[in-house]
């Protein structure tokens, strides 16, 4: 009979375990201790936090049992010492401790830290490093590292540990089938799965536990790379139409460009052109800093598709961004936009914008034009994927901000290409460190724009603590008024639409945070800003209201646009030279950099203020300083990766959710690269991983079905 969690845990226990992601015996084996208490390393008793449950290790000095005077039963006072300070811990009705807690013994206790008559003690203490069945511990037991697990509500550490140890002895052999091939383990001197589990849950030496920890990193790295390699191999089998022709449209575009392409734009263009000419579909990522010219590179690729008698589609996550892309393409093409009387039909390009808010009559006509090949390039939102939208010959898809689209949406657009698969170019507006690209985007070929066009942005950034310098807000407003007086525009950004009260988790102080609606009203009433005109832009406005606000800001009819992060990506307003970001500590580093990239886009000097209600000594203020110190998105991307959790980098915001727990994309780059080589050898011989079913099962654990599909469709 198979060993099950039901045999060792109640229904309530299993509910608590499920909240920790534990629904099977295998999950429990991979619920590793968060730390280990090493014999001889006593816990400093003076540093125990009052009111919190603590696990401590100390030496027994004395044990004294006496009868309680006012009620039946006994009380056993155990005095422990850490080498500098002592603590008295009281156990009720456990007289047997006299014979087992002997002076000189190193013990591990758990309990809530409280103060009694001026001295620290533990409330409801539990003696952890003893087995409820085998009371007497061997010297080896007492000298082994003691595992301390993450808290599971309602399940004591001792009971959890006991269940894991028993299950390790009675579990089915299938639980120990190893995802790491034997030859790989031998080459890297890694323990097999069963030994590694023992070294985590029944550790004998710290060295063995450390070797097991290394094994978990290699497991995850191999799973990722095997998946990426196999996906890439599968994708290479899909037939696409070669797009080889660089004809009149692309040549005229290059001739009319008012600037010289950067060396990385040229290189990226050559890489993309080479891919487009193949019979297998391109699957490439194009990334670079704000203002590095991704749209120009993407448009040149789309023109190659059009010259090759195919259509191209650019997919954007919001109507605001789709409209901005359409306007950018319109501006870049200039007189090439159909139907200019100055050009022959051969060099004209028919570009259309398709959004869900378009009148039904216009959408029907546009759909007909697309289906009959009357449109060369279409820019749109999710409306591109509706059943009513068909293409005559879709050859290239450009996906902007790809992590904002679901799997089904991308697949729906890809399916519109008919029997052959369209080429796909994914654009990311966030610079991606090499270590992340190797781990998260390893199934794509990567083109990087790592130099900036001539006349790059000149933006001065200041991090301002309004907690320390509240008077500076008026000065910032004065600078905004001066900006408007020169005919230039200013963005004011806040993280929310409605104002709200938010409780600080550390101080428990409730702080009031303005939303953009109230912020606009307050600024309209500020004496320093008298005479300025204000617009409002946020996600709950109708499309017509959003378009009107953007048009009025672009034209100069309004001086200041107060907005949420709907302006974060793609919005291009050349006259905007100032930005004020309220509650800047509520944004991530990459988001602040993206927002700042909306100003100074025509080369004029610009200024950005990162306002925060936090004092300058607050840890969150360090992030604002980092953004203020550099305009280099790659430097900020490395800083961001180094300073926030790996789960954030590899989580849903990037690629659909990851179960990585041990592999660090920053610190374990060498492991990732080496694992790639192993994965390529394995997949070349066994594409389906049929000879290593445990590896396929582990891939499904690390990359759940939704995430794996995301990779395929990204």
| Residue 166 CB neighbours (<10 A) | 14
Q: What is the mean pLDDT of the chain?
A: 84
Q: What is the pLDDT of residues 324-383, one digit of tens each?
A: 889 889 989 988 887 655 555 788 999 999 988 888 898 889 989 999 999 999 999 888
As given in the structure block, the two tokens for residue 162 are: 């006991």
Instruction: Record the pTM.
Output: 0.70
Band (pLDDT 50/70/90 cuts) for residue 714 is very low
Contacts for 55 with CB less than 8 Å, ≥ 6 apart: 37, 43, 108, 109, 110, 128, 148, 157
Q: How far apart are CA 44 and CA 11, in angstroms?
A: 37
Q: What is the pLDDT of residues 258-295, one digit of tens each?
A: 888 999 999 999 999 999 999 998 989 898 887 788 99
Which DSSP state fits 616?
Answer: T
Band (pLDDT 50/70/90 cuts) for residue 140 is low
Which of 296-319 are b and which e, b meaning 16 or more Cβ less than 10 Å from the residue's Cβ?
Answer: bbbbbbbbbbbbbebbbbbbbbbb
Q: Is the pLDDT of residue 712 over 60?
A: no
Q: Is the pLDDT of residue 129 over 90?
A: no
As given in the structure block, the two tokens for residue 196 are: 């590694």
Q: Which domains does the chain show, CATH number per domain? A: 39-144 (2.40.50.140), 248-449 (3.40.50.300), 458-630 (3.40.50.300)
Q: What is the pLDDT of residues 49-76, one digit of tens each?
A: 777 667 777 889 999 888 887 777 888 8
Q: Is the pLDDT of residue 26 over 60?
A: yes
Band (pLDDT 50/70/90 cuts) for residue 23 is very high
Q: Is the pLDDT of residue 245 over 60?
A: yes
* The predicted structure's pLDDT at residue 651: 43
Residue (of 484, 492, 486, 539) closest to 518 by Cα position: 492
Contacts for 568 with CB less than 8 Å, ≥ 6 apart: 591, 594, 595, 598
């Amino acid at each position: 009979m198979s060993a099950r969690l039901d045999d060792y845990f109640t229904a309530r226990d299993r509910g608590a375990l499920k909240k920790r992601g534990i629904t099977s015996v295998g999950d429990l084996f991979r619920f590793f201790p968060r730390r280990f208490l090493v014999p001889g390393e006593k816990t400093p008793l003076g540093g125990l936090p009052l009111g919190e449950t603590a696990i401590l290790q100390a030496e027994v000095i004395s044990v004294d049992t006496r009868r309680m005077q006012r009620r039946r039963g006994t009380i056993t006072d155990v005095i422990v010492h850490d080498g500098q300070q002592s603590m008295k811990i009281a156990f009720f009705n456990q007289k047997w401790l006299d014979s087992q807690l002997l002076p000189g013994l190193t013990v591990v206790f758990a309990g809530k830290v409280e103060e009694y008559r001026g001295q620290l003690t533990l409330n409801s203490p539990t003696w952890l490093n003893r087995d409820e069945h085998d009371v007497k511990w061997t010297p080896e037991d007492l000298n082994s590292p003691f595992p301390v697990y993450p808290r599971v509500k309602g399940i004591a550490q001792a009971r959890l540990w006991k269940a894991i140890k028993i299950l390790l002895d009675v579990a089915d052999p299938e639980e120990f089938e190893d995802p790491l091939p034997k030859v790989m383990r031998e080459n890297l001197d890694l323990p097999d799965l069963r030994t590694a589990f023992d070294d985590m849950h029944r550790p004998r030496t710290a060295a063995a536990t450390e070797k097991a920890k290394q094994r978990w990193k290699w497991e995850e790295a191999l799973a990722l790379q095997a998946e990426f390699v196999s996906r890439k191999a599968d994708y290479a089998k899909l037939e696409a139409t070669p797009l080889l022709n660089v004809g009149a449209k692309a040549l005229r575009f290059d001739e009319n460009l008012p600037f010289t392409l950067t060396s990385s734009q040229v290189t990226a263009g050559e890489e993309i052109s080479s891919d487009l000419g193949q019979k297998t579909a391109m699957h490439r990522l194009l990334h670079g800093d704000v203002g590095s010219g991704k749209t120009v590179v993407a448009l040149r690729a789309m023109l190659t598709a059009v010259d090759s008698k195919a259509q191209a589609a650019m997919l954007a996550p919001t109507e605001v961004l789709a409209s901005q892309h359409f306007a950018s393409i319109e501006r870049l093409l200039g007189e090439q936009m159909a139907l200019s009387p100055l050009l022959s039909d051969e060099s004209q390009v028919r570009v259309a914008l398709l959004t869900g808010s378009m009148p039904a009559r216009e959408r029907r006509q546009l759909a007909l034009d697309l289906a009959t090949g009357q449109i060369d390039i279409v820019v749109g939102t999710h409306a591109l994927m509706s059943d009513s939208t068909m293409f005559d010959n879709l050859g290239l898809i450009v996906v902007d901000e790809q992590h904002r689209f679901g799997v089904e949406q991308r697949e729906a657009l890809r399916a519109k290409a008919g029997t052959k698969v369209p080429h796909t170019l994914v654009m990311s507006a966030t610079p991606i460190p090499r270590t992340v690209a190797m781990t998260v985007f390893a199934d794509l070929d990567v083109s990087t724009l790592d130099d900036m066009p001539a006349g790059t942005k000149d933006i001065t950034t200041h991090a301002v603590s309004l907690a320390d310098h509240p008077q500076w807000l008026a000065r910032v407003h004065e600078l905004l008024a001066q900006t408007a007086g020169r005919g230039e525009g200013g963005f004011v950004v806040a993280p929310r639409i409605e104002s709200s009260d938010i409780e600080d988790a550390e101080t428990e102080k409730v702080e009031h945070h303005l939303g953009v609606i109230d912020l606009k009203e307050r600024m309209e009433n500020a004496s320093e800003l008298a005479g300025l005109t204000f617009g409002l832009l946020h996600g709950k406005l109708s499309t017509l209201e959003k378009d009107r606000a953007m048009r009025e800001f672009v034209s100069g009819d309004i001086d200041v646009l107060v907005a949420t992060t709907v302006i974060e990506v793609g919005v291009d307003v050349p006259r905007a030279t100032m930005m004020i970001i309220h509650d800047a500590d509520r944004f991530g580093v990459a988001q602040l950099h993206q927002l700042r990239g909306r100003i100074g886009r025509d080369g004029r000097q610009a200024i950005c203020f990162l306002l925060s209600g936090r004092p300058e000594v607050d840890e969150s203020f360090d992030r604002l300083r980092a953004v203020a110190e550099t305009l280099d998105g790659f430097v900020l991307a490395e800083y961001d990766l180094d300073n926030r959790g790996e789960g954030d980098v590899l989580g849903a915001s990037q690629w659909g959710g990851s179960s990585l727990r041990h592999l660090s994309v920053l610190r374990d780059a060498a492991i990732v690269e080496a694992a790639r080589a192993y994965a390529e050898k394995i997949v070349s011989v066994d594409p389906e991983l049929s000879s290593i079913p445990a590896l396929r099962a582990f891939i499904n654990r690390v990359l759940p079905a939704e995430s794996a599909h995301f990779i395929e469709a990204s």
